[in-house]
Structure 1
Amino acid sequence: MPEPAAESATEATPGPPGGHDETDFGAEFLALERELSVFMRRARASSGELARAVHPDLEPAAYGLLVRLEETGPQRATTLAGYFGVGKATISRQVAALESLGLITRSPDPDDGRASLLQLTSGGHDRFTRVRDARRAKYARRLASWERPEISELARLLHRLNSLGGAEESPGPRG
């Protein structure tokens, strides 16, 4: 009986999911890089506008903390730092700024008296909600020609992209 022919190395070793490897920088990856670059520039500019709409002295980076606190309710600063992938010193500066503007407050953590929970103040919530609602109305106008499933798919894909993290691109948490 003849022996079966040996498989070549490429046949025996399946490629990565999606049919490309990390050295394959085809047109789709160049287009992705270009579109993400434009998207991030616009997002940074928008973040500044949103922050100033909440309070003229609010830093754009701190706006994301308001978003997260509104979504989740009271959180520890360390939990927020982990979520955003930043160091304690960075969160501490942003929290101090938000507190000084009267947008958030601290309360003792009932599960650990040594820790504090951060939450939006009533005024902070009102200001944030007004800006968020205006932003959503703007998105709705800009995406009026899109079908709802397309918007859902975009949100799903952005979530998937954000879930990849960025540890390989950054040297680690910094203060």
Structure 2
Amino acid sequence: MSDEEALVAVEREVALMFRRGRARVAELSRRVHPGLEGMAYSMLGYIEQAGRVRVTDVGVHFAVGKATVSRQIRALEELGLVARETDPLDRRAALVSLTEEGRRRYLAARDVRMGRVREMIGGWVAEDVVRFGELLRRFNDVLGEAPAE
């Protein structure tokens, strides 16, 4: 296989992974709550990992505008999944964190997702799983640095 053919194969597989990933994230969002949009599950995961995070930082992390992140956070807040508070260091900014109900629902959906990951690659040799994780992290680092086209 030539270098060009290898790159085409990688691009094809990454595109397929992204399409399937969007569908799975939408499914997981609905598992958390039937009224949630696809991005909501990922936002909950980011907020869960961060603990308390500025709303603007959520937008930066997902590379979405202020209006989009505000709408998503407002929907999560209305469903009782996140709580918003004024940032004590900058009273103009807001911090969000998961509520107990939000954490419970997110973790239950994440457990389902992790079960699927175990089913998919649980039979792999441990070294392959570690290497796959390293390669994905490396790819995501480059992806995060790449200019949008």
Shared fold (TM-score, shorter chain, > 0.5): yes
Partner in structure 2 of residue 58 of structure 1? 36
CA distance in 2, matches of 1:45, 1:27: 27
1:168 matched to 2:147? The reply is yes
Higher helix share: 2
* 1:125-136 to 2 correspondences below 5 Å: 125-136=103-114
Deviations 1:128-167 (A, max 9, x none): 0111012112211211211222112212211111112265
User: Paired residue for 2:22?
Assistant: 44
> Which residues in structure 2 correspond to 1:1-175 (within 5 Å)?
26-164=4-142, 165=144, 167-170=146-149
The CA distance in 1 between the partners of 2:116 and 2:101, in whole Å, is 23
Bigger shift: residues 144-153 or 59-68: 144-153
Q: What TM-score comes out, normalization by structure 1 length?
A: 0.78
Question: Structure 1: which 4+ aligned runs deviate by more than 2 Å?
Answer: 166-170
Residue-by-residue CA offset, 1:51-94 (whole Å, 9 max, x unaligned):
01000001001211101011111100111111111211111111
- Cα distance in structure 2, aligned partners of 1:140 and 1:44: 19
Equivalent in the alignment of 1:7 = none
**3-state DSSP class of the match of 2:52?**
coil
Q: Shift in Å at residue 169 of structure 1? A: 2.6
In 1, Cα distance between the equivalents of 2:50 and 2:126? 25
**How many residue pairs end up in the alignment?**
147
Letter aligned with residue 168 of structure 1: P
What amino acid does structure 2 have at the position aligned with 1:124? G
Instruction: Report Cα offsets for 1:13-44 as digits up to 9, x if no partner.
Output: xxxxxxxxxxx961110110111111111101
What CA RMSD, in Å, does the superposition of the two structures yield over aligned residues?
1.6
Unpaired segments ≥5 residues, structure 2 = none
Normalising by structure 2, report the TM-score. Answer: 0.91
Structure with max Cα Rg: 1
